Amino acid sequence: MPHYIQRGQIPHKRHTQFRKPDGTLYSEQLVSTEGFSDDYSLLYHCHPPTQIIRTEASKNVAPEIAEERMLQHRSFEGFHIKPEDDFLESRKAVLVNNDCHIVLAAPRKSTTDYFYKNTDADELIFVHEGSGVVKTQFGQLPFSYGDYIMIPRGTIYQIHFNTESNRLFIVESFSPIRYPKRYMSKFGQLMEHSPYCERDMRGPQDLETFDQTGDFLIKAKKKGWLYGLHYGTHPFDVVGWDGCCYPYIFSIHDFEPITGRVHMPPPIHQTFETNAFVVCSFVPRMYDYHPQGIPAPYNHSNIDSDEVLYYVDGDFMSRKHVTRGMITLHPAGIPHGPHPGTVEKSIGAKETKELAVMVDTFRPLMLTKQALEIENDGYTLSWKE
C-alpha cells in the first residue's frame, strides 16, 4: 500500500550475500502482512532475529464482553478512561468483533523497558492528545495531535511520549489496512481525485542500528494472550531495509475534504479500508452551496454496518451535548440522524470546524465491560422532540 522506500544499507540484489566489514553475513528477514502474497519489506540485521533466550508465562488480555447483542444507539465518554502509566495496561477495548477491536488508551509513560509486537492485527493509532516518537526496527516516526500512526502487524515498536497527558483512539484490524481502492490507479498510485497523496505520508526516518547483545524483552500479543519473549540481541539491529510494508503516519489535518452543492454521503470522508470495515475522517470544510441546501446530514438507516463516531474537536451541528473524546455507536438495523432542532439550525451555515474519526464495521460490534463503565445513559432516547 505505501510506496516503495529504502533506508540504510542494502545489497544490490535481494537474497544475496551481504557482508559486514568483518566479513560475516548480515541476516536477511522478510516481513509482510499476508505471507508472500502481497506487499513486503526486506530487513538486514546484524544478528539473526530468532535468538530467544527465555520466555515468561503468558497473560490473558482478551476483552471482557458485556453485551453480545443489542439494537439501540449508545454513547460513551472516552475521556472517562482513566490514565495509567504503562502503555499496554492503559489500552482498554470498548467495542469489538472478530474483525477489529476499538480501543481507548491514556498512557502516562513511555515504553522503555520492553518492546511490543501485535502479531494478529494492524494497529491504527489516532493521536488525540500528546506527542512523541514511535521507535521501530524501520526507524523513527515522530507524532503529534491529529496523526494516524499505521503500524503493520508484526512490527516491533516502542512508543516514547514527550507529554504526560496522552489520549489515543486505536483500531486493531485483523485484516490489512489499506488505502481505498477507488483512490488508486491500477498500478498502485494515489490518483488525482484522492483526498490525499503520497507526499502526505510520513515514513520512518533516522534509522539507528543497535548492534547489541543482552536480554531484550518483547511483549507479543497473539489471540488475546500476551507473551513475554526474551531475545539475546537488540530487535533494532537493522542496518538497512527496503520495500512497501512499513509503519507510516498520515495526519488528519492533511485530509482534503470533498464538498458539493448538496449534502455529500459519508464515503467522501473515507480514509482507510479493510475487508471488514472502513475508517473516515471528518475535517473542517465548507458546507453545501446549493441555495436551498441543508448542511445537516439526512436521516439514514444503517443496513449493513455499525457506525462508530469518535468526536475529536470542534462543534458538531448534527449532535447536542457533544464532548471531546465522546464515542457514539449507531448499530445496523435502526435509522439515525440529526438531533431535533439541528436541521433547521444548520440552514445558512457556511462551514464547519468539526474534527472526528468514524469507523463503520460490516459486522455487529459487541460492548465490553469497560464500555459500560463509561456509557452515557439515555442516549438512545435523545431524539425525542
Please give the pLDDT value at position 81. Answer: 96
Please give the pLDDT value at position 317. Answer: 64
Please give the pLDDT value at position 320. Answer: 66
3-state secondary structure of 124: strand
Q: Please give the C-alpha separations between residue 117 and each of 110, 226, 248, in angstroms, as whole numbers.
A: 15, 10, 16
**pTM for the predicted model, two decimal places:** 0.96
And the C-alpha cell for 212? 547489541
Beta bridge partners of 184: 190
In a shared domain, residues 89 and 172: yes
CATH number at residue 94: 2.60.120.10
In a shared domain, residues 55 and 181: yes
Q: Closest by alpha carbon to 74, among 381, 385, 314, 384? A: 381
What is the full per-residue pLDDT of the chain (385 aa) written as tens digits? 679 999 999 999 999 999 999 999 999 999 998 888 888 999 999 999 999 999 999 999 999 999 999 899 999 999 999 999 999 999 999 999 999 999 999 999 999 999 999 999 999 999 999 999 999 999 999 999 999 999 999 999 999 999 999 999 999 999 999 999 999 999 889 999 999 999 999 999 999 999 999 999 999 999 999 999 999 999 999 999 999 999 999 999 999 999 888 988 888 999 999 999 999 999 999 888 898 888 888 888 878 899 999 999 987 766 667 899 999 999 999 988 888 888 888 888 888 889 999 999 999 999 999 999 999 998 988 888 7
In a shared domain, residues 161 and 100: yes
3-state secondary structure of 156: strand
Residue 190: DSSP 8-state: B
Please give the pLDDT value at position 95. Answer: 98
d(CA 222, CA 117): 9
3-state secondary structure of 134: strand
Contact present, 220 and 52 (Cβ < 8 Å): no
In a shared domain, residues 259 and 112: no
Residue 291 lies in domain: 253-377
3-state secondary structure of 313: strand
Please give the pLDDT value at position 1. Answer: 60
In a shared domain, residues 183 and 100: yes
Please give the pLDDT value at position 102. Answer: 98
The domain boundary residue, chosen from 251, 273, 296: 251
And the C-alpha cell for 40? 513486503
In a domain, 44, yes or no: no
The domain boundary residue, chosen from 216, 251, 286: 251
In a domain, 14, yes or no: no
- Report residue 115: phi and psi, to 5°: -115, 160
In a shared domain, residues 211 and 344: no
In a shared domain, residues 183 and 320: no
What's the distance, CA 109 to chain centroid? Answer: 20
What's the distance, CA 136 to chain centroid? Answer: 16
